[in-house]
Chains A and B, each alone.
Chain A
Amino acid sequence: MKGLWIVTTETSAEPTRRDFLYIATGAVAAVGAAAAVWPFIAQMNPDASTIAAGAPIEVDLTPIAEGQDIKVFWRGKPIYIMNRTKKQVEEARSVALSALPDPQTDQERTKEGHEQWLVVIGICTHLGCIPIAHEGSYDGFFCPCHGSQYDSSGRIRQGPAPLNLPVPPYQFVSDSKIQIG
């Protein structure tokens, strides 16, 4: 009559040892299932070789004449390195901060003593197209996809993009060489 006895305990309102067993089993199984999901999500992050390949790069600036720019790739992103003319630097520094959608001074966006060099990630902050250098109404960049215009400091001036072109981490190793990353 073991079975009958269990049926009677089941109807009592008190938590029983069997309730505890069921809850413990369910909880352990749920923890296991959650832990098992983790490797399947973690595997989508960049793998070790991709991270290692994203190490800093060095760029020689000597071939870039004034008024010219080059595009290099770092971590799969295009980086514009622009040797700005005096006129471009002046334009960038004379504009009032209040006139900018994303206020930032040109000094903040360049390195002291190397004012003519602008280094920005060439990815439009709207939806990721690559803006064209030396185009648009602000002597800077123009994005052909949706018409965003950036000035000669890479700051957004007009169009749907919300933010300035980001400045990647970089430093001058010498007067004519920078290290990006």
Chain B
Amino acid sequence: MSGPSTYQPQSPFMKWLEQRLPIAGLVHSSFIAYPTPRNLNYWWTFGAILSMMLAVQIVTGIVLAMHYTPHVDLAFDSVERLVRDVNYGWLLRNMHAAGASMFFVAVYIHMLRGLYYGSYKAPREVLWILGVIIYLLMMATGFMGYVLPWGQMSFWGATVITNLFSAIPFVGDSIVTLLWGGYSVGNPTLNRFFSLHYLLPFVIAGVVVLHVWALHVTGQNNPAGVEPKTEKDTVPFTPYATLKDAFGMSCFLVFFCWFIFYMPNYLGDADNYIPANPGVTPPHIVPEWYYLPFYAILRSIPNKLMGVVAMFGAIIVLLFLPWLDSAKVRSLRYRPLAKRFFWGFVATCLMLGWLGAKPAEGMYTILGRIFTFFYFAYFLIVLPLLSRVEKTLPLPNSIAEDVLNKGKVVGTTAASLFAAVLAGTMLFGGVQSAKASEGGESPPSLSWSFAGPFGTYDRAQLQRGFKIYKEVCSACHSLKLLQYRNLAEPGGPSFTLDQAKAIAAEASIKDGPNDAGEMFERPGRLADTFHSPFPNEQAARAANGGAVPPDMSLLAKARSYPRGFPQFIFDFFTQFQEQGPNYIDALLQGYQDTPPEGFSLPDGSYYNKWFPGHSIKMPPPISDGQVTYDDGSPQTLPQYAKDVTAFLMWAAEPHLEARKRLGLQVMIFLIILSGLLYFTKRKVWSNVH
């Protein structure tokens, strides 16, 4: 893609092909001989990492589409069937879901790198604009993908985001109806989102080709921001950049796999494990983390239309960046003032992201407005002004000269990075401690056998927990994503197949119609599910004072509570994700006979310390001595609560053990590979440095 190729085909066949289709020459000139500046740092490997992530998303996405059903009644369960029953389905789903987040992590680093080193400046304006278009397409794709599992967050995310368009004067409502294909978000919406979610990645791939093309025409920018002048300033793409990229990708995969195998739900929202319910909005809806800064901007403007304009404007302004910043010096290394403002901008984005996840009230709204102003001020005031008044440092004469001074500059970059992180942390910390003083209590963290990187289920505990489910919970709650055969499958309570068959046979399953056209009851089989004791939702509601006992298949993943800052950062390293089990355990023990003074309990409700709003329709379900244990475990409420919670965790994630086991193998492999790639890269680069 960079001028006539120097490729000389060797074999007669390649000569023959090259005269007819010069594809080998194209690959050679673009990915082998292509000269790259020799002073590129590791921030430049994110281009390759992004290509890898796009490939991962497309390949896993095509596979998920083989198992997914885009229908409002079937979508949620089809995703769960994929995760529970398809070979490696849990792995492919985690790869795709965490992969979306990793794609955005990489793209944000890539964009900030471009911003810091002035990669958007002439002659790379079109390259930058194509990048912004890719980013916009990624946001649309990510949003529509998040709708597909059809959980509560999917549904309400779709409702809120499509309603953004209703802010358009005069035609807004018509546009929203057009997007929905109905009078509300429904089956036509889901179908078209699935279609577009499948299409857009290929559009992204097309624009990526243009992006790479534009890159290969202008050549890469570099940390010094001076153009290569002689051969000495560059190295051939292969093997130098290829190996450096491979090492970068391998390290990124370690980070990615941490989420896939150990923290699959860390970046998601527990509410999305509750099937979509058009009648109930979750009390606290937030978009995926990668939209949070823009969501914060949207909410900080008190006018509907202007909020939407500001949100889209925050992205559109990037398109004009090459002309807003007219400074001749590209790299912020040589712009001391602009560099400080840059880190301020990074802190602003982090702050907006954090505010986007907070309720839109009180201090958060005020802070949101301040940081929204900072965001736009950076592009519309600071950069245009600085590019006129700033006194820049002297540039190196060439890239080769820059390589000689490298050590010193890396030091200052690291120092400024450290300072920015420290400043951001202190800012977060201050706000958080202000919040903590007003905040509520969290359920106590218990120690679970399935927690941590080597966690496994305690078989005896799962069997005891199942006994409690069968004798107590199943009177009202179903487990309809679980089949009797699961009881005998590896990684579970380890009942024998015969025990599982006997348990199934105790259940009475409605089947039919038979030859006479009548429904009949038959004993359960291994392939049957733990169905609800009520014939339908209305009957369940009527029998339980108006509240439907929820299906418990996913309960342990569908319940959570905020961990707060900085706890949620430590959670990432300690792999803490047992909010659901902690909550369920606490809830079972959280009943109080007399509500606290001043709390008016509605009729037919019970006071529970941990239930949101404290008024729960479920009577205290279990008490000391109610279920007989055969293995001598204490027959007390705390033991019951812990056992049934462990059982519910297994019901929510039957492949947890396989996930952690495979994760360890993959991690060890990737660390070995990264090490080898590092030494190979060092050997190859040894004659350049």
Contact = CB atoms under 8 A, between A and B. Distances in A.
B85 A63 contact: no
Nearest to A7: B687
A52 B679 contact: no
Interface in A44-68: 44-45, 47-50, 52-53, 55, 63
Which of A22, A35, A42, A43 has the most chain B CB atoms inside 10 A of its CB?
A43
A64 to B, nearest CB: 11
Interface residues of B, number: 32
Contact of A63 (B515, B673, B683): B515
17 contacts: A3-B687, A6-B686, A18-B683, A21-B683, A25-B673, A29-B246, A38-B88, A39-B88, A42-B87, A42-B88, A43-B89, A43-B92, A45-B87, A47-B85, A50-B85, A52-B526, A63-B515
Nearest to B484: A52
Given A38-B88, A55-B526, 11 more contacts: A3-B686, A6-B687, A7-B687, A25-B680, A28-B676, A39-B91, A39-B92, A42-B87, A43-B88, A48-B85, A55-B525
Which of B89, B676, B679 has the most chain A CB atoms inside 10 A of its CB?
B676
B680 A21 contact: yes
Please name the 3 residue pairs, one residue from A and one from B, whose CB atoms are nearest each other, closest first.
A39-B88, A52-B527, A47-B85
Interface string B134-178: 000000000000000000000000000000000000000000000
Interface string B73-86: 00000000100111
Contacts of A32: 669-670, 673
Contacts, number: 76
Interface of A: 2-3, 6-7, 18, 21-22, 24-25, 28-29, 32, 35, 38-40, 42-45, 47-50, 52-53, 55, 63
B686 A52 contact: no
A70 to B, nearest CB: 10
Given A43-B88, A63-B515, A52 B676 contact: no
A43 B67 CA distance: 9
A104 to B, nearest CB: 32
**Chain A contact surface mostly:** helix
Contacts of A29: 246, 673, 677
Which of A18, A24, A39 has the most chain B CB atoms inside 10 A of its CB?
A39
Contacts of A50: 85
Contacts of A35: 669
Given A18-B683, A49-B527, A25 B87 contact: no
Contacts of B85: 47-50
Nearest to B688: A3
A21 B679 contact: yes
B84 A48 contact: yes
Nearest to B665: A35
Given A32-B669, A43-B86, A55 B527 contact: yes
B317 to A, nearest CB: 40
A25 B59 contact: no
Interface in B457-512: 483, 485, 489
A52 B488 CA distance: 12
B677 A25 contact: yes
B656 to A, nearest CB: 16
A117 B672 CA distance: 63
